[in-house]
Structure formats: structure tokens, C-alpha cells
Amino acid sequence: MTSLRPSLLASLALLTACGARTPFYERPTDASASLDASNVRDVLDASDVSDVLDASDVRDVPDVSDVSDVSDVLDVSDVPDVSDVPDGSDVSTCTEGLPCTEGIAPCVLGRTRCAAGRSVCVEAGNELPGTTCAGGVCDGRGTCRRGDQRSCPMPSENGCGVVFLTGGTFTLGSARGYRASPAQPSITVSAFTLDAYEVTVARFRRFWEAGHPAPAGNAVTYASGSVTLPGPVTEPTATPGTSDNCNWSDPARTFHPVNCVDWSTAQAFCAWDGGRLPTEAEWEFAARQAPGAGLAANRTFPWGEDVPTDGCDRAQWNRCMGASGASTRVVGTFAASAGLFDLAGNVWEWTGDLFALYSDTTCWGGRARTDPRCGTNASGYPAIRGGSWFSVDRLLLQGAARDDAYRPENHSALVGFRCARPR
């Protein structure tokens, strides 16, 4: 194989390659809208709500007006062309995009020239994790891989697929995030995968029809140790006395997120599917740090800094009309951020942590931690992330926002989940 590396191409490859672990840093962002914590409401039924949202939880963040803009964008017109491809008499015998050497998947940027039946690399750099490639998605390390989801016998089904995340060190929380202060510096997460979509009714039904088994020993393993599930596996139906907006029993909602699932059942599904619920740190890393085109680290919302409109242009929230008679929308209705869909809105998502204030020194307390998971609190309530279709305050859609509004045994129509897997 002939490898041609002009200096400009080498620079471009270095700028765009994302296979190596990248440390992330806290960078304040401009508050582009006035967010009033006094208007925070996300209540479907009084029995679902564990506490009153307090304006003291909301902090103002300093505005940064002098963030420099990147104006010099590399243009392919500036890249020298390769005119002397060896043996170029029959370029039609090779398909552009084939790997340059056997066993290497085509997760590369740039162009491939074909000659005499072999591929010739002109430039190569790893695609961002989550980029679609033949047979699966790029893992950020130059390999095309299929996500290991037992619930997805047809990987092309809507709601199937994972994003491979290389991990990194970042600041968890935000001064202006709902219940997300004080921010926690030097939090490290190891490489992991996260479901690209919230778990759908279709995927959950396969688990149910397979006998909906509890994990071995009724426990789920994290880097910090095993977690014993507090309850049995139960069907996703509404908690008595609450409104029934559950998607489970309606065949028209097959590709909506499954909701009305309690915390133990969500963990059991993920274990059966090959993983577990994500930790808060993993979930926030994906929502605020995962690299993607046009996405900055420490972004406010999963898609960046643009504030979502009341008309639901970016997420299913603010009690906008749903689809198929539901309050939710089909997963993936809105644009992806770093290959991930619906990290804001649609349904809140269970995490593997029990909720603790960031001032709590047992779980947080402002010191460096690797692959943390909070396993103890006074209430026993798990942490939830992402906001829901019922949320009417934009604060709840921010990537750092967190809450503990539901007991682990609660079957709320506002709560669903997605699964993570260590790599």
C-alpha cells in the first residue's frame, strides 16, 4: 500500500482523528436565554414527586463574551491531489472506500484511490464514534463494530444501535445546571458504549417474551462493585392512582420509548441485553462531552447552546403533542447529537446511581474520581436525567440537570431508560 501524507493532510488528520482519549475541561458558556427556576414544573401526579423544586438549586454562570470563533476552516480544495496513482490503468476494478489493508475497516476520513485491484490510502484519520459504517458504527479507534444488543436481532430496526465512547476526564455538573452544583472536577470515565436510543417497546417486548429474567444473583456489576436490585422484575404498567400514559400495551407505539418501567426492571433488561444502566457520569459525559461535528465540550444541551423552542424543534418537551396517541414521540424523531438521540426530552432516564447532592462527600465532594457511582443515600431514590415530554422548564433539558423525583419501584409514564456497556 502506498501512503501519501502531505503536511496539510497530516494536519487535517490530527485535527479530526478522535481515536485517542481526550481530556475535557470546564469552559463556561454564554447564557442565551433567561431561565427561571421558579417556573420549573415536571409533575404528572402528586404521588410521583418526591420534593419541591427550589430556586436555591439554580446558580448563575459567568457569561463569556470573548470566546474566539474558528474562522479558518480547512477546505478540500486546498488539499493537493494525487495524480500519480500506481498502475492506474484500471481504476474501475476496485470499489472506492474499501479498507487499505486486509482487516482494517473503512472508518477513515479523506479519499481512497483504487488501482490494479488494490486500495491506496491518500489520507486516513479515525471517524468520530457513532459514525455509520458497513456492518455497524465506528468505535473511535479506527474499527467498524456492531453494537452488542441482544434485543436487536435486526440492527437496522429503529431504536437499535450503540455509540462507542472513548471516555475521558471532565468536570461533572454545572453552576447553572438544575441540582448540578457545585461542579465536580476531574471525573474520569473509562471507555464505554451507550444505546443510541432510549429502549423501545419493541426491544423491551423481546426481553419480556424471553421470560424477563432477573440477572444472576439479582445483581448488576459496575466498576465500583456489584449492585443488588431492590425489587423484582415487573411489567411496565402505570402505578395505581397515576395517569396511564404508558406505551407498553399500545401496538401503535412499538418504536416509542418504553416507559412505566421501575428501576430494578430497567436494570434487569440492561443485564439481559448485555449491559447495565449508565452511571450519572457516563450519561453526562455522553450528553455534554461526546465529540461530534460542531459540538463543543461542556455544552449546555446535548446539541450545543441553542435553547429549545416551546414548539419542540429539538426535543419532545413542554407537553407538545406526541405521536400515535401518545405523549411521547418515536425515538430518533429529532436530530442526533454525537450519534445519540433523545438525551433531552421524551422521557426521563434512569441511571445506575442513587441521587446525592454534589456537596455530599460520601459520593462526590469535589475530589477526583474514576468511574464513580453513588450507591448510598438517605432516600434510596435513583438519579434521573434528561427531562421528559412533561417538562415545561428548559433547565430540565440541560445535560447537567439531574433529579430524584421517583422511587425505585415507581412506574412513571415520565421515565424510561437506555443501557450502557463497559468496553
- 20-45 tens-digit pLDDT: 222 222 222 333 333 444 344 454 44
Q: What percentage of residues in the chain have a pLDDT greater than 90?
A: 61
Residues 164/423, Cβ–Cβ less than 8 Å: yes
Q: Where are the domains of the chain?
A: 39-67+128-423, 80-121
Please tell me whether residue 149 adopts helix, strand or coil conformation. coil
**pLDDT at site 240:** 79
Which residue matches cell numbers 479558518? 72
Between 141 and 377, residue with greater pLDDT: 377
Nearest CA to 402 out of 248, 284, 282 is that of 284
Between 19 and 315, residue with greater pLDDT: 315
Between 265 and 139, residue with greater pLDDT: 265
pLDDT, mean over the chain:
78
β-bridge pairing 415-416 and 348-354 = parallel
For the cut 70, the answer to whether the pLDDT of residue 14 exceeds it is no
Nearest CA to 41 out of 317, 241, 260, 244 is that of 317
The alpha carbon dihedral of 130, 312, 266, 184 has a sign of positive
- Other CB atoms within 10 A of residue 368 CB: 11
Model confidence, pTM: 0.74
Class of domain 39-67+128-423: alpha beta
